[in-house]
Chain A
Amino acid sequence: KQEVTQIPAALSVPEGENLVLNCSFTDSAIYNLQWFRQDPGKGLTSLLLIQSSQREQTSGRLNASLDKSSGRSTLYIAASQPGDSATYLCAVYVYQFYFGTGTSLTVIP
């Protein structure tokens, strides 16, 4: 069974800092990997999706990378803002999505 781990579980940074969130998975035979953000009491919002043939995807201040052979993905957030405060989840797809427990990010003004 696929297991997805996210480190760190929580992160607090001052506004303006660049930061990296990590995601690792045990089975490299994935079809794609997706990063989400979840705000308290709400559903998930898709941020980036990386297909298995891709190595990275970018959207605005976000950049996600994928290294299937090592079972790792990173989400890079540039110039963090207080509005980035949320829980960030990664999920890998192998006929169904497997989610990590997330990294809770707090950006301090």
Chain B
Amino acid sequence: EADIYQTPRYLVIGTGKKITLECSQTMGHDKMYWYQQDPGMELHLIHYSYGVNSTEKGDLSSESTVSRIRTEHFPLTLESARPSHTSQYLCASSENIGGQGLSDTQYFGPGTRLTVL
């Protein structure tokens, strides 16, 4: 059973608010990811991290930012939320096999469904 947690599960906020979506894992995985998923659409990678102090942007451009100060924690922040940010945000983690950028099984959290009014 994977141990990866996301809070909050649901969030409804007004335009212009600053929000932070939390993601934590207890498996000691080096690699962590944030995906955005709109209904009926594929997951798009918006951020990833190879380890502490490592953050990279994914293929899908996002106004959000991330930080990786501790191995187990990978929060995502929106400085000023807009209705276009309404989506489901999924966090995942995986082991980094052989240190060569390869990856093993991804484990996902339950997701945060964000609605910006």
Q: Confirm or deny: B99 has a beta carbon within 8 angstroms of a beta carbon on chain A.
A: no
A43-B110, A95-B101 known; A101-B40 Cβ under 8 A: yes
**Number of A interface residues, CB 8 Å?**
23
CA of A38 to CA of B2, assembled, Å? 15
List CB contacts (< 8 Å) of A12-70 with chain B.
31-32, 34, 36, 41-46, 49
Q: Mark A93-109, 1 if CB is under 8 A from B, else 0.
A: 10111011110000000
- A96 and B42 contact, CB distance less than 8 A: no
Residues of chain B within 8 A of A49, CB atoms compared? 104-105
Distance of B48 from chain A, by nearest CB (Å) = 6
Most chain-A CB neighbours within 10 Å: which of B48, B90, B105? Answer: B105
User: How many cross-chain pairs have Cβ atoms below 8 Å apart between A and B?
Assistant: 59
**Number of B interface residues, CB 8 Å?**
27
Q: Confirm or deny: B75 has a beta carbon within 8 angstroms of a beta carbon on chain A.
A: no
Distance of A37 from chain B, by nearest CB (Å) = 11
- B43 and A96 contact, CB distance less than 8 A: no
Most chain-A CB neighbours within 10 Å: which of B2, B104, B107? Answer: B104
Residues of chain A within 8 A of B51, CB atoms compared? none
Distance of A45 from chain B, by nearest CB (Å) = 7
Residues of chain B within 8 A of A101, CB atoms compared? 40-42
- Give the residue name and chain of the A residue nearest to B10 (CB): A41
Q: Taking beta carbons and an 8 Å cutoff, which residues of A are in contact with B? A: 1, 4, 31-32, 34, 36, 41-46, 49, 89, 91, 93, 95-97, 99-102
Q: Taking beta carbons and an 8 Å cutoff, which residues of B are in contact with A? A: 2, 6, 33, 35, 40-45, 48, 58-59, 90, 92, 101-111, 113
State the 5 A-B residue pairs at the shortest beta-carbon distance, nearest first: A43-B108, A44-B108, A99-B43, A99-B42, A43-B110
13 more A-B residue pairs beyond the given contacts A32-B102, A101-B41, with a C-beta to C-beta distance below 8 A? A41-B111, A43-B109, A43-B110, A44-B43, A44-B92, A46-B106, A91-B106, A96-B33, A96-B48, A99-B42, A99-B43, A100-B42, A101-B40
